[in-house]
């Protein structure tokens, strides 16, 4: 895939995911505002209904007390007799009807019956209708007068009463709770009554201290008590919902699946981008590997071809020294070619989940000593030195001798290749608990911090600066890491540029072995 195509795909994915996130954020915000507005409307409606109900209760209570006073006054004057007299809502009896008719009616007498015959004189339907209309007007006028007096006294006295005398606070709490529930608000609440200056007159708490800690700043709604009353001392009802924010969040639970879906899409998008970039990087590394491998294999082949041509050329003298030199060149280049082919074949190891190890009991110190003995000639020829310090007293472990020998050889070979001065190679072993530690430290060019995290990756090669003679496929340290892991061990690296590099290997050892 071309680089341009990859970036176009990434840009399209970014635009898509950003648009999706913005739409989701807008959707969540609109829903939150709708829930918030609905909550406010329900609370304000409940508060208005509550104060109206409180006002109506006060008026009914005052009217009831006024009518009781009127009834008591009438009884004291002898206007209402005991017996079977029936009172209406205003406390008036049917005796008043008898007194207004001008006839001698008693409580047990009935109203004149309607007669159609003219011989009964004035007791006709027309006279009876006029009588009833007049009686209704008189009763209505008298009742209205009593009600007007009661309302006038109520308005005059209410402005002089304390708010605690006008409102039953315990009853107000029940009213608020009932009306809030009827309007769909089931949150716990506190309410208080304050005056015009904001001074607290009464406070009622329905929420425990632990619940109040949920929200440090309450959400207060205010409604004037007796809203249609003109007074110089207004009082206000304030209701606080400390858990209001939790209510809004809980009301948005239906949006949770869509939020999870967006997060999942975003995660998949990020993973896809990472995979695409890694595949692109891997493709570049593989291209470099193929080019490097071609060069590595072509050089010994060309050298062998040239040597064979020299042997076939009749113009070149076939002296014993020349034949020995040419044969040595062919032998060395053949070994080099075989070594490079073996390196390539090591790639098969990484295609398997576990390497086929042939584990045997091996003394680590002895194995390392053998590798040092075979490698020391190369180091001394370049002016370097190997300093062994094999202090591990318990060094018997289950390892694959061939693969583990390659691990030690690769680390020592890297130390020699990445050195710009005479190599000083320190090799040390020691014991900690039931493990053996092996460290290989050099004084080479070191590794930069940005490369340390990737040196164990397949095909990855560290830049060597001016060291143009360093060849390889980027498989050595990846091979080392895999073999150590398959031996249930660990490897870590410490390095400083221009100071050196130290590899430390940890392996489990066999228990119950002699020192």
Read off the CATH number of the domain in which 376 is found.
3.30.565.10
Strands 220-224 and 200-205: unpaired
In-domain check, residue 29: yes
Q: Is residue 181 part of a domain?
A: yes
Helices marked H in 199-314:
209-212, 244-251, 256-312
Q: Is the pTM of this model over 0.75?
A: no
Clarify whether residues 472 and 383 are in a common domain. yes
Select from 188, 223, 251 the last residue of a domain: 251
Same-domain pairing of 20 and 116: yes
Kindly state whether residues 409 and 499 are assigned to the same domain.
yes
Answer whether 386's CB lies under 8 Å from 422's CB: no
The residue whose two tokens read 């009600």 is 147
- Which of 327, 348, 369 is the last residue before a domain boundary? 348
Is 338 in the same domain as 378?
no
Q: Does 514 reside within a domain?
A: no
Residues 237 and 277 in one domain: no
**332/270 same-domain check:** yes
How many domains is the chain built from? 4
Position 28 in a domain: yes
From first to last of its 515 residues, the chain has per-residue pLDDT tens of 667 777 887 888 888 888 888 887 888 788 888 888 888 899 999 999 988 888 888 777 777 766 666 555 555 555 444 444 333 433 333 343 333 434 343 334 444 554 555 554 555 677 778 888 888 887 777 777 766 666 666 666 666 677 777 788 888 888 888 998 898 888 888 888 888 888 888 888 876 544 444 444 447 889 888 887 777 788 898 998 887 776 666 666 666 777 788 788 888 888 888 888 888 777 777 777 777 777 777 777 888 888 888 777 776 666 777 778 778 778 777 876 776 676 666 655 555 555 577 899 999 999 999 889 878 878 888 888 999 999 999 999 999 888 898 889 889 988 888 888 889 999 999 999 889 999 999 998 888 888 888 888 776 666 554 443 455 556 678 888 888 998 999 999 999 988 999 999 999 998 877 65
Residues 224 and 152 occupy one common structural domain: no
Are residues 432 and 312 part of one domain? no
CATH number at residue 290: 1.10.287.130
- Asked if residue 13 is part of any domain, the answer here is yes
Distances (CA, A) of 72 to 75, 150, 460, 508: 5, 15, 109, 107
Looking at the fold, whether 11 and 156 belong to one and the same domain comes out as yes
Of the candidates 156, 150, 165, the residue with the CA atom closest to the CA atom of residue 231 = 156
In a domain, residue 471? The reply is yes
Q: For residue 513, is it within any domain?
A: no
Q: Are 16 and 39 in a shared domain?
A: yes
| Nearest CA-CA partner of 107 in 117, 118, 119, 98 | 98
Q: Which of 348, 368, 394 is the last residue of a domain?
A: 348
Write the CB contacts of 40 (distance below 8 Å, at least 6 apart in sequence).
Answer: 221
Q: Are residues 297 and 377 in the same domain?
A: no
470 phi and psi, to 5 degrees? -85, 120
| 299 is a domain residue | yes
Please indicate, yes or no, whether residues 153 and 266 belong to a single structural domain of this protein: no
Task: Give me the domain span that covers residue 336.
Answer: 254-348
């Amino acid at each position: 895939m071309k680089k341009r195509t990859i970036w176009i795909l990434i840009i399209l994915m970014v635009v898509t995911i950003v648009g999706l996130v913005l739409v989701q954020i807008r959707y969540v915000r609109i829903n939150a505002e709708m829930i918030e507005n609905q909550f406010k409307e329900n609370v304000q409606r409940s508060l208005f209904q509550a104060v109206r109900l409180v006002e109506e209760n006060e008026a009914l209570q005052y009217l009831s007390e006024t009518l009781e006073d009127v009834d008591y006054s009438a009884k004291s004057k002898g206007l209402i007799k005991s017996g079977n007299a029936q009172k209406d809502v205003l406390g008036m009896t049917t005796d008043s009807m008898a007194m207004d008719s001008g006839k001698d009616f008693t409580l047990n007498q009935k109203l004149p019956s309607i007669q159609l015959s003219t011989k009964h004189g004035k007791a006709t339907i027309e006279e009876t209708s006029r009588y009833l209309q007049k009686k209704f007007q008189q009763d209505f006028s008298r009742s209205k007068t009593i009600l007007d007096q009661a309302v006038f006294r109520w308005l005059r006295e209410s402005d002089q009463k304390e708010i605690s005398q006008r409102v039953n606070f315990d009853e107000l709490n029940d009213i608020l709770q009932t009306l809030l529930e009827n309007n769909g608000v089931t949150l716990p609440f506190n309410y208080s009554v304050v005056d015009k200056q904001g001074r607290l007159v009464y406070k009622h708490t329905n929420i425990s201290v632990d619940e109040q800690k949920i929200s440090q700043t309450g959400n207060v709604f205010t409604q004037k008590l007796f809203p249609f009353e003109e007074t110089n001392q207004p009082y206000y009802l304030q209701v606080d919902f400390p858990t209001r924010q939790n209510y809004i969040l809980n009301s948005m639970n239906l949006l949770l699946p869509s939020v999870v879906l967006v997060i999942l899409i975003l995660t998949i998008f990020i993973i896809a981008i990472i995979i695409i970039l890694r595949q692109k990087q891997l493709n570049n590394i593989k291209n470099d590997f193929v080019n490097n491998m071609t060069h590595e294999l072509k050089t010994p082949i060309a050298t062998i071809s040239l040597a064979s041509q020299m042997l076939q050329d009749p113009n070149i003298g076939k002296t014993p020294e020349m034949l020995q030199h040419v044969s040595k060149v062919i032998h060395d280049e053949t070994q080099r070619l075989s070594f490079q082919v073996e390196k390539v074949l090591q790639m098969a190891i990484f295609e398997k989940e576990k390497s086929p190890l042939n584990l045997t009991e091996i003394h680590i110190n002895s194995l390392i000593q053998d590798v040092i003995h075979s490698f020391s000639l190369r180091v001394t020829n370049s002016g370097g030195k190997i300093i062994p310090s094999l202090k591990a007293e318990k060094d018997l472990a289950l390892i694959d001798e061939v693969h583990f020998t390659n691990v030690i050889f690769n680390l020592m070979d890297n130390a020699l290749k990445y050195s710009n001065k005479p190599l000083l190679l320190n090799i040390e072993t020691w014991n900690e608990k039931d493990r053996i530690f092996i460290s290989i430290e050099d004084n080479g060019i070191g590794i930069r911090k940005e490369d340390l995290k990737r040196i164990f990756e397949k095909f990855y090669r560290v830049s060597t600066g001016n060291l143009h003679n360093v060849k390889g496929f980027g498989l050595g340290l990846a091979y080392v890491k895999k073999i150590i892991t398959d031996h249930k061990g660990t490897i870590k690296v410490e390095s400083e540029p221009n100071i050196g590099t130290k590899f430390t290997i940890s392996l489990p050892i066999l228990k119950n072995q002699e020192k």
